[in-house]
Structure 1
């Protein structure tokens, strides 16, 4: 049985790219936490005082506003490194 040919050239290995650590902007974490807190407080204040000035005008849309703020915080948390 014939012997297989050996490779004479070295296999090309691309140079290693330096792995830079990605860092989040400084404003991201505070905005994320503030968004969660404001969203939860918005819903809580609506349940405690549904006729409060400014809040009573929106009616049940206050729940949507609170949940949008909470979801915004969750979306920001996916960007946090």
Structure 2
């Protein structure tokens, strides 16, 4: 039985209009304040919640009642938003 011919494969090159741009801005590292502020917000959020629970809802602000939970968790969610910008 005859042997089939081996075909050479073409090297794929993506079209130039679809190729992602490689600018200096996309490769630039994040500023130092990005991870520092994210860690600070995480620590503030956790400490806010810990103080709220350990003080039996008297501190940080007793008049805000359950809004203290929203502030603590809001700080932690804000830190996730900041960390999404970190390169």
TM-score for both structures, normalised by structure 2: 0.66
Query: In 2, distance between residues paired with 1:24 and 1:48?
Result: 37
Q: How many residues align?
A: 66
**What pairs up with 1:1-81 in 2 under 5 angstroms?**
20=24, 21-49=27-55, 50-52=57-59, 54-81=60-87
Unaligned regions of 5+ residues in structure 1, if any?
1-12
Structure 2 residue ranges without an equivalent (≥5): 1-14
Residue-by-residue CA offset, 1:23-75 (whole Å, 9 max, x unaligned) = 111211110000001001101100001213x4212111100000110000000
CA RMSD of aligned residues (A): 1.9
